[in-house]
Structure 1
Amino acid sequence: MRQQDKNPTYAQKFCIAKAGKLLMHTGGLVPGARVGVAVSGGVDSMVLVRVMRARQRIVPFATELMALHLNPGFDPANHAPLAGLCEALGIAAHIEVTDHGPRAHSPENRKNSPCFYCAWLRRKRLFELCRHYRLTHLAFGHNADDLAATFFMNLFQGGRVDGMSARESFFSGRLTVIRPMLLVDKRQILRASREWELPVWENPCPHSKRSKRLEIATWLTERFASDKKSRTNVVNALRRWQLDKDAADR
């Protein structure tokens, strides 16, 4: 696994540069920021760890990073490679095995989908960890494809026009949620992950292959398969719309 890249590839530089551009545009990082990086073990969050470490070396002010991983409890050992990655990168890590997954699939959860309930438990715990470690920022690895899927899911399922903010404040400004990869296409993330040889692992959740989000993402992929120009137009339009919306909301 290559941890130091003297000659980064195009995909690696693309991810790092796009994240930096978005962070500067939105004011996503400030001097002294203490950033928790939410790591699920999937390709997006693992690339985010590498990108945030690279940005930490580039920005002209001091920041701190901590990887936050909450194992949902289906496979208590599958996160083992993350500890080695964080050690190699010199990043602190909080790795915790939870029961969020089994609880979301149990009678305890009678009103919501397992995905919704598990995500709610995970978000709640991440916020608790941010408070415990006095983190000022929480970074998620959502990308441009996630933005498109979220937009259409909100439109079809909720009847509302809404996306996914690149920068949001919580708890009266005490915590800022950032999504540095929101301008990056999934294709570049996959390439960068392969070139960094990241230890990505499979999601063992029984709903990982049949969630509503995945259904809409698959529909978009099929829709764009025969018309790449329409994909470019939709993704670029949503990027501009989301950034304009974020600017208006601040």
Structure 2
Amino acid sequence: MQDNQDVTKKEQYNLNKLQKRLRRNVGEAIADFNMIEEGDRIMVCLSGGKDSYTMLEILRNLQQSAPVNFTLIAVNLDQKQPGFPEHILPEYLDTIGVEYKIVEENTYAIVKDKIPEGKTTCSLCSRLRRGILYRTATEIGATKIALGHHRDDILQTLFLNMFYGGKLKGMPPKLMSDDGKHIVIRPLAYCREKDIERFSTAKAFPIIPCNLCGSQPNLQRQVIADMLRDWDKRYPGRIETMFRAMQDVVPSHLCDTELFDFKGIHHGSEVIDGGDLAFDRQEIPLTPVGWEEDSESKSQRLDILEVK
């Protein structure tokens, strides 16, 4: 009996610690990008997945102590996928007392009609969904649209653009919407996906899978996600360092003539950002500079070593 109580106390302690980290990450992102301002009405896009549930929960938590006043309204788009459990989200939101709106649009039929069998549906589906969400934001008077993309999503987008699009472009934590009328924010921008997964499991959110694209295992984004997940296991700290690199861009050491005036460099010009020093370390560090392994990651790594 005592052992069970100790396990429960430990689980609760770990959950509280995890929630504090997620709250801190979200708070830092909001502050760094000025995501939420006094009087904002935040439309929280709730898909029924782990990311959007976590975003809503952390924003609700921050709402209680934030230095500015803001309101939340959860919005779910029911795309009329066959078998979609439409009762789950309303029941959950009623239970926690959050204002919400369910938007019903049969985008599933449009996607199935326009996209040949076997082809990826994400591009058309996301465009349709985006337009509907923008329209809904206007209808409900939302000043910000909150999406549940996290740090790993941002890195995946960076590599997708590099590998397949030929651009050094990621997914910004804050931007103007496609129609030029709304501000889109990503409060989970600093959060790790593995933290969100653990938090979602511990909170037992009623997850709703996306059956429309869930059967497309060879999506380019999934390939990139698997690559990053493998790197995270084999080279701890690499993910953190790559994301930090996105926050410390050196235009003078890239190749974009629109960002830096290479033509303007002449004899007598000043040395900029170390001149020809790029990464001239004689020895590559075994762990990324400035990275410290947290206790949970270390414990998981040691467990893996014990199994081996």
Distance 1:73 1:208 in 2: 19
Q: Which has the larger radius of gyration?
A: 2
Query: 143, 157, 177: which is aligned to 2:184?
Result: 177
What SS is found at the alignment partner of 2:241?
A: helix
What SS is found at the alignment partner of 2:64?
A: helix
Contact 1:76 1:97 in 2 (8 A): no
- Which stretches in structure 1 are left out of the alignment for 5+ residues? 1-5, 242-247
What SS is found at the alignment partner of 2:167?
A: coil
Cα deviation, 1:40-70, whole Å, max 9, x if unaligned, reads 1111011111011112112133211111111
Query: 153, 161, 181: which is aligned to 2:168?
Result: 161
Query: 16, 36, 60: which is aligned to 1:53?
Result: 60
Tell me what 1:218 maps to.
Answer: 226
Distance 1:83 1:48 in 2: 17
Distance 2:196 2:110 in 1: 31
Query: 60, 74, 83: which is aligned to 2:81?
Result: 74
Tell me what 2:100 maps to.
Answer: 93
TM-superposed deviation, 1:126 = 0.1
Tell me what 1:121 maps to.
Answer: 128
Amino acid at match of 1:38: C
How many residues align? The count is 236
Between 1:211-220 and 1:14-23, the stretch displaced more is: 211-220
Q: Calculate the aligned-residue CA RMSD, in Å.
A: 2.5
TM-superposed deviation, 1:118 = 0.2
TM-score, normalised relative to structure 2? 0.70
Contact 1:41 1:200 in 2 (8 A): yes
Distance 2:109 2:219 in 1: 16
Over 3 Å counting, the alpha-carbon distance change for 1:85 and 1:146 in structure 2 is: same
Tell me what 2:281 maps to.
Answer: none
Higher relative contact order (CA 8 A, sep 6+): 1
TM-superposed deviation, 1:180 = 0.3
% identical aligned pairs: 23
Distance 1:56 1:236 in 2: 27
Contact 1:73 1:100 in 2 (8 A): yes
Cα deviation, 1:156-181, whole Å, max 9, x if unaligned, reads 11100111111112489742100000
Amino acid at match of 2:45: A
- Which stretches in structure 2 are left out of the alignment for 5+ residues? 1-11, 250-258, 260-308
